[in-house]
Chain A
């Protein structure tokens, strides 16, 4: 959408149309980057506070002098970010320098380009592609290559073990994610993000909004499987065996410091948002308001989408501070013996339901 507008907005008489394309891409990329950075600050603050509250602590409350100050430690993430930026950039002497430098960018790009298909509101979507949801699934598989590279190029056994675990985990959990999305595509008959949202407008059962999460028991199950597998794809606790602090120091990121580590950190939070955004779009009506037919202007749409995504991010943080980490074999068991059979059953069930009810 925004891409189309911008291309239309530029005068067509420009001598070099390729330039327009490049400028439009940059104009789209900068706000996304700023959004990710700002959202990461909010999410990190939320993570700090929620984790503390769950443990009966109060979290950062800096009130003294210095940057971690202000009320309720609100500037703590800013101070953390500044610290990461100012830290020395260390590349281990035995590391493979080129790949070591390349890895964080591949991971970040994988998270970054997924944002171009997220529908923030009716009009606020960078490009409403025909294959929107499939595109997000596709590019989110890019991050795993970056993690493997990071682990291998660090030339450190912990890093390599972390990378191997991460690769095995992400490849496995992509399957239930994809199978759950198949359920959505079966019902909506489209892969465009806006199309999926439009399918969900209106009421169901007379009083509930027609979100897929309420549509039938199979889509509800698909939502749960999608969300949990999404958490696993973000490498977050309880699925954080790739970085398992107590076993592998920090897994694939052990040797990274400063800005390069910050990129990994940023992409983890960006990935969280992508998973939450897709879950909110595919199962919770995206920018649709919870009361059908009310408060559905584009500005409210942005509000609904953000609140749904933020709620799911809160769920992820809640998971992280509730569940202990899974062992490697348990992780694979859950995926191959739990999620994948249930997902396949789901596809079958939704087909039957669609035949009988819809």
Chain B
């Protein structure tokens, strides 16, 4: 009988203990919450010490970015890509080095090279990219690069680029103008081929 009552007493006290614990968690949800509402909130990126200066660390594998105003459409990166995730199409311009404002084309790159091509399409499919960095070496204008790291002053780091739709992971760097507009802009002066 004594054991029976002791069991009941232990049952009640341990149950109440458990319920107290869960109630405490329930009430202190604002403090203890561990969920991060990901797309809206992000964890702060930890400061990392990789043993040497960031600017010396040139092979950071984050996301490819193209400064399209500097691209001369030489297709070297497309050829270098081992998985063919870069797609470039170009159209010849009538006059080398001249701005075509109607389609946002600048004639001269930051390095002073006069551009002979309008880049009508420059797509990088980041779902295919294998982060080998091989496309950035041949670029004569240094306009394709991995974001962040030594390039942080050109473009801040972006390693998440999470999207709701897989197609949104194809990054389209070319100016958003239609093919007809490019055609009319490049064929105005009558120069063909």
- Chain A interface residues (CB < 8 Å from chain B): 50, 52-58, 61, 63-64, 318-319, 321-323, 338
Q: Is the CB of B32 within 8 A of A64?
A: no
Query: CB within 8 A of B35: which of A50, A58, A64, A318?
Result: A58
Of the candidates A52, A53, A64, A323, the one having the most CB atoms from chain B within 10 angstroms of its own CB is A53
> Contacts A56-B29, A56-B32 hold; do A63 and B23 have CB atoms under 8 A apart?
no
- Chain B interface residues (CB < 8 Å from chain A): 8, 15, 18-19, 21-23, 25-26, 29, 32-35, 37, 39-40, 164
Q: Is the CB of A322 within 8 A of B19?
A: yes
Docked Cα-Cα span, A338 to B37, in Å, equals 46
Docked Cα-Cα span, A338 to B26, in Å, equals 30
- What's the least CB distance linking B21 to chain A, in Å? 8
Q: Is the CB of B25 within 8 A of A55?
A: yes
Q: Is the CB of A57 within 8 A of B34?
A: yes
Docked Cα-Cα span, A318 to B19, in Å, equals 7
Cβ of A338: which chain B residues have Cβ within 8 Å of it?
A: 8
Cβ of A58: which chain B residues have Cβ within 8 Å of it?
A: 29, 33, 35, 37
Q: Is the CB of A321 within 8 A of B33?
A: no
- What's the least CB distance linking A335 to chain B, in Å? 13
> Contacts A58-B37, A61-B37 hold; do A50 and B164 have CB atoms under 8 A apart?
no
Docked Cα-Cα span, A64 to B33, in Å, equals 21
Q: Is the CB of B25 within 8 A of A318?
A: no
CB-defined A-B contacts under 8 Å, sample of 11: A53-B26, A53-B29, A56-B25, A56-B32, A57-B33, A58-B33, A61-B35, A318-B19, A318-B26, A322-B18, A323-B18
Docked Cα-Cα span, A55 to B19, in Å, equals 13
Residue of B nearest to A324 (CB): B18
Q: Which 8 A-B pairs have the closest CB atoms?
A: A53-B29, A322-B22, A58-B35, A56-B32, A53-B26, A54-B22, A57-B35, A322-B18
